[in-house]
Each structure stands twice: as C-alpha cells, then as structure tokens.
Amino acid sequence: MKAITMTIGELREALKDKKKYPDDGLVLYQRIEDIYFEEHKWKSVKKDDGELPGMKDEFVHVFTNIKYRRDKNLYLTAHY
C-alpha cells in the first residue's frame, strides 16, 4: 500500500523519464481547499526560518505526482 506522503525516492523515480518531464517543465502544486484543514482536521508542517518573528511557512504532504498527456509539467497533489 502506498504511503500517504510521497517520498523523495518515489519522486526521483517519477522524474527519470526525461520525455515525460523535460528539464524546462514547471513544478506545480494543487491548491487545497480550507475545508481539509477546518473540517477534516488536516495538519500542516510549519517551518520558521527565524528571519521574521512570528512568520511561519506552512507545508502539506505530497500524495503523488500527476502527468497530463501533452503537457510537460509536473503536477503534485495532496490527496487522491
């Protein structure tokens, strides 16, 4: 069974095919609706670089990559 979070190894494997994912393709991430955090209680990973007091970047786990035909870009999603 696939883990809920994509690993670096899984991402590397997906990117091996240079025809599918050329070097000039974009990396895009699917926007997640607030309902996942508000009603479904998803948690984000908060990172603070110490530069701006009180400011934290928030990240969510990547579930998998998506490949659309006739599109060179890499799309990442947080849910299935």
Alpha helices in the chain (DSSP H): 8-15, 35-38
- pTM value is 0.65
Whole-number Cα distances in Å, 4 to 27, 73, 77: 20, 22, 11
By residue count, the chain amounts to 80
**Cα–Cα distance, 4 to 63 (Å, whole number):** 6
Q: How high is the pLDDT of residue 58?
A: 82
Q: Tell me the C-alpha distance between 67 and 80, whole Å.
A: 14
Low-confidence ranges of the chain (pLDDT < 70): 1-4, 80
* pLDDT score for 24: 92
